[in-house]
Structure 1
Amino acid sequence: MKILVIGGGFMGTALATYFNAHGVKVSIYETFEKKRIELMNDIRLSDIQILDELCTIEDLDFIIEAIPENLEAKQHLFAKLEQLFPPNITLCTNTSSYLISEVAKLMEQKGRLIGTHFFSPANISPLVEVVPSEYTEQSRIEDVMALLKSMKKKPVLLKKEIEGFVANRLQSALAREAMSLVEKGIVSAEELDFIAKWSLGIRLANTGPLEQRDINGLDTHLAITKYVYPTLENRPTPLPILEEKCASGSLGLKTKKGFYNWETIDVQAYQSKKNNILNRVIEVVSEGDRKMKYKALVKNSAAKHDVKFVEYEVPELKDNECLIRVKAVGICGSDLHMYDGHGGYDWVTYPLVLGHEVVGEVIAVGNHNATEYLSKRVVIDPYKSCGQCDFCLRGETNRCDFNEFRTVKTPIEALRYGFREAGGMAQLMVVDIKNIIPIDQNVSDGVAAISEALAVSYTAVKKVEHFHSKRILVVGPGPIGFGVAAVLIGSGNKQVDMLGTAVDENRLKLSKLIGIKSTFMSEEEILSKDFKGYDAIIDCSGHPTVPQMAVRLLKRGGQLVLVGINSAPFSIAMDQIVRGEISIDGSYGITRRNYEEVLKLAAIPSYPFEKLIAEKVPFTQCTKGFEKALNKVSGKVVISM
């Protein structure tokens, strides 16, 4: 890696020493002879080549301009650089205020130029504002971001260019108000800086201005702004106090006089002290960026009850990822099967963090352009489909096998979180941003934690046309069965019955609470009534005897939807299917569309989803929650973080 820095001033030398310390071969081009001699005698720059003319440098990768803030000078410089250096070299400007498109005005190859606004002292301050213009080529953006990250800088890519970018606009607004307060005689310069350091300064090192507004309450801030905003300094020209100081030659540290008197100050010692403090501040602030650790419940192998808590470090997030602070997790039937060592899960990747019914809050994103998701409460879509096969293009993501045809219908390849990738039975969870779904504030964490299971139920219900008006029997009073019933009842259907067995007597008590019309424990019990047949039967039990029974209980033209899974074969007399015009449909998993729809239903009070939560257990007692679910409680068990 080779970099040429244009300008050997304070910023240029800071950049050169920083890149050199990180293994980059650096050259500095400086036009003033006196300055060049200073640079060549500076021991810090002993490994850096000092140039007195612009010349070809073999294998050069980047040129970073760090000359004084003069727009015309920068424009002519880049017009010259693009002629002298080949197109593969990316040109960077360290302007702190000018639009990048303005700096590129005289260039023919405007796509080569990108803004890299380093902060002084550049060898210490980690942040860099990366500012493309409308012309900047995408490859240049990617190369610069990769370079800065590899150099341990903290680059932020701005979505569009604006005068002064972000940090300097914030700084300029603060400085203008500060000078105005001094000009008006409210405080002295020393008093103002004392107030800023010991209030805003301390807080801003840890909490951004908008983050702090959220903490204080936006309603509180609104009330303050209505009273204070009209009195804030808003003159569009430099304040007289600044104009007068500059006119009199009081330019600050460089002339030994500004708002302060610097004549008796040892500048080198002063700057060294400030840099040491800045380093310590960065060290403290960086503690928040260090890898966080979290605990997760891990199924080590296919063996029965082979689970334990494991501590992990949060990895560095990729651009497509976000970090979720988990709030609650629903225990699914598949979680129970894996926990209890049941067969049929040899396709699962062990060791595995269990849990795919997850609700949490987004606390970090890998891409600064995705900050709109921060602090959002979300659920997780456990499917990562290919997005290209015919099924995906039709929105049938629960059928995606990544364009592979299979004679044996195994669990689809798209099913990932909690099966082939780490799930959410953990304090934290890394998730692809595409797999998060923001949820309505009216949906509780408990209901959100069972919403993926409700989406399974909803997907099955949608197999039945006009389901809100048909007489329907739900077989199996487990979580999916009750979810099916709750969806039907919430839609206004008052003709919903449920069938269980003698061992389900306690579980069937929940039926009355959610509005099920009648409950039965046998086929004979159903037939003993004045029975006219069902329009549809939705089986959530997976018992192989159900299809035969369903044919007897269905009206002609009736529909059987199979949701419960069992690898056992079943047989039905073909003449009964044909003469009865009975249709049989399988329903597997969820689609993104159905999940989003059921989340909207969850915010509607008529859907009795809250009643489906049987019990909540703390994360530290996960295994207790598994045992309760295995003992067939009435509804869902939710792990609360």
Structure 2
Amino acid sequence: MAQTTPSTPAAVTVVGAGTMGHGLAVQFARHGASVSLVDHRQSNLDDARAGVDDALGFLESEGWLDDAPAAVGERIDYTLDLPAAAADAALVVESVSEDIDTKEAVFETLAASAPEEAVLATNTSGIPISDVGAAVPDVADRVVGCHWWNPPYLLPTVEVVRGEETSDETVERTAAFVEAVDREPIVVERDVPGFVWNRIQFAVLRECTHLVSEGVASLEDVERAVRDGYALRTAVVGPFETADLAGLDLFRTIAGNLYPHLSDAEDPGPLFEERLAAGRGGVADGAGFHEYDEEPEALLRRRNERVAAVLRALDD
């Protein structure tokens, strides 16, 4: 059986049983924590059980489970009772919808029901941590961002985001909890919109849509340039190391020439609007930027298999 370490939260409460919520439950449970997965709808919890089973089956097929899937699954409890679920938690991770009013209601309940020493984390990808903390001023020092990428049981880095009132102790404890479940914390010292990951992701997406809209290259070729070129290299060297390898003088010169020509658009633009107007909202509709003839689950599993292959190659 997986053993806890001094930094591992023995009891974790995950609020919100959607894609991220059940993935978080899997990651904590596979490293020995007892997890309470909470939602406001029983149907969401039922879907989460199936999602947990799929994730554990995938991890077993990759040889990445120390215990049998059933043993890991037994560490996850599914409940509609948030106050009871939070009562003994060392760490609470909220992963409900990206709506500040909903998150405020959750944190007000947590402030009243979680232990005084519990870390109260939000998995928001964009709402300021300080705004969440402002809803519970008496415990704002224990409110912290803990932003995972999907799927959380595969992708190795987690943003730990400091709000205006977040204490040093809370940041340190959260980073330790992340490390204890085999993830790498990225400490975000300033509570800026989008934190680090999404600012970079959407800066790249903005330039990609700009290139296609301006007729510089086709959507398919821009996709390939990022996926099979830029992203392939950045899987092994980051942007600053890339500049070091090429020479800072060269990169400074290129940056000075190129920056004035990069997109500074303040709205998503026609590539989004045209497709959404045509009912092409993504894989669930069978079409988005691309067309799909497979079920979303099959597409997601293939993506996960590719991510696992990259992770395995990087470990070699």
Superposed, 1:606-625 pairs within 5 Å as none
* Greater mean deviation of Cα atoms: 77-86 or 191-200: 77-86
Correspondence 1:164 to 2:194: yes
Aligned twin of 2:69:
none
Aligned twin of 1:20:
29
Aligned twin of 1:194:
224
Aligned twin of 1:184:
214
Q: Any idea what the Cα deviations from partners look like across 1:13-60, whole Å, max 9, x if unmatched?
A: 111011111111011111123222223455624542111121324532
Distance 1:112 1:147 in 2: 14
Question: Are the aligned partners of 2:18 and 2:48 in contact in 1 as well (CA < 8 Å)?
Answer: no
1:275 aligns with one of 300, 304, 316:
304
Aligned twin of 2:62:
none
Distance 1:72 1:43 in 2: 28
Correspondence 1:52 to 2:61: no
Three-state SS of the structure 2 residue aligned to 1:236 is: coil
2:258 aligns with one of 221, 228, 231:
228
Counterpart AA for 1:124:
L
Distance 2:94 2:201 in 1: 22
Superposed, 1:311-330 pairs within 5 Å as none
1:147 aligns with one of 169, 177, 190:
177
Three-state SS of the structure 2 residue aligned to 1:55 is: helix
Three-state SS of the structure 1 residue aligned to 2:147 is: strand
Correspondence 1:261 to 2:268: no
Three-state SS of the structure 1 residue aligned to 2:13 is: strand
Higher relative contact order (CA 8 A, sep 6+): 2
Question: Are the aligned partners of 2:100 and 2:132 in contact in 1 as well (CA < 8 Å)?
Answer: yes
Percent of aligned positions with the same letter in both sequences?
Answer: 29
Three-state SS of the structure 2 residue aligned to 1:104 is: helix
Distance 2:298 2:74 in 1: 22
Correspondence 1:34 to 2:63: no
Unaligned segments of structure 1, at least 5 residues:
288-641
Q: Any idea what the Cα deviations from partners look like across 1:109-166, whole Å, max 9, x if unmatched?
A: 2111000110111110010011111211222112111111111111121222211111
Superposed, 1:197-212 pairs within 5 Å as 197-212=227-242
Aligned twin of 1:354:
none
Distance 1:176 1:41, change over 3 A: closer
- How much does 1:210 deviate? 1.2
Distance 1:46 1:151 in 2: 17
CA RMSD of aligned residues (A): 1.8
TM-score (norm 2): 0.85
- How much does 1:205 deviate? 0.4
Aligned twin of 2:20:
11
Counterpart AA for 1:138:
D
Aligned twin of 1:119:
149
Aligned twin of 1:63:
92
Distance 1:42 1:213, change over 3 A: closer
Three-state SS of the structure 1 residue aligned to 2:153 is: coil
Distance 2:285 2:313 in 1: 34
Distance 1:154 1:43 in 2: 22
Aligned twin of 2:132:
103
Superposed, 1:257-406 pairs within 5 Å as 257-262=287-292, 264-287=293-316
- How much does 1:94 deviate? 0.5
TM-score (norm 1): 0.43
Three-state SS of the structure 2 residue aligned to 1:88 is: coil
Higher strand share: 1
Q: Any idea what the Cα deviations from partners look like across 1:328-381, whole Å, max 9, x if unmatched?
A: xxxxxxxxxxxxxxxxxxxxxxxxxxxxxxxxxxxxxxxxxxxxxxxxxxxxxx
Distance 2:252 2:49 in 1: 56
Distance 1:238 1:266 in 2: 27
Give 1 or 2 for the bigger CA radius of gyration. 1
Q: Any idea what the Cα deviations from partners look like across 1:405-445, whole Å, max 9, x if unmatched?
A: xxxxxxxxxxxxxxxxxxxxxxxxxxxxxxxxxxxxxxxxx
Distance 2:157 2:101 in 1: 27
Higher helix share: 2
Question: Are the aligned partners of 1:40 and 1:46 in contact in 2 as well (CA < 8 Å)?
Answer: no
Aligned twin of 1:2:
11
Aligned twin of 2:67:
none
Distance 1:43 1:70 in 2: 25
Question: Are the aligned partners of 1:87 and 1:112 in contact in 2 as well (CA < 8 Å)?
Answer: no
- How much does 1:12 deviate? 0.6
Distance 1:268 1:105, change over 3 A: same
Counterpart AA for 1:107:
V
> What count of residue pairs does the alignment treat as equivalent?
286
Distance 1:140 1:55 in 2: 21
Distance 1:102 1:18, change over 3 A: same
Superposed, 1:447-486 pairs within 5 Å as none
Question: Are the aligned partners of 1:5 and 1:28 in contact in 2 as well (CA < 8 Å)?
Answer: yes
Distance 1:17 1:164 in 2: 25
Aligned twin of 1:89:
118
Distance 1:71 1:63 in 2: 17
Distance 1:39 1:158, change over 3 A: closer
Counterpart AA for 2:113:
L
- How much does 1:248 deviate? 4.0
1:213 aligns with one of 216, 233, 243:
243
Three-state SS of the structure 1 residue aligned to 2:23 is: helix
Distance 1:162 1:224 in 2: 27
Three-state SS of the structure 2 residue aligned to 1:56 is: helix
Task: List, as ranges, runs of 4+ consecutive aligned residues in structure 1 with deviation greater than 6 Å.
Answer: none
Distance 1:47 1:129 in 2: 25
Distance 2:249 2:89 in 1: 53
- How much does 1:197 deviate? 1.7
Distance 2:208 2:21 in 1: 29
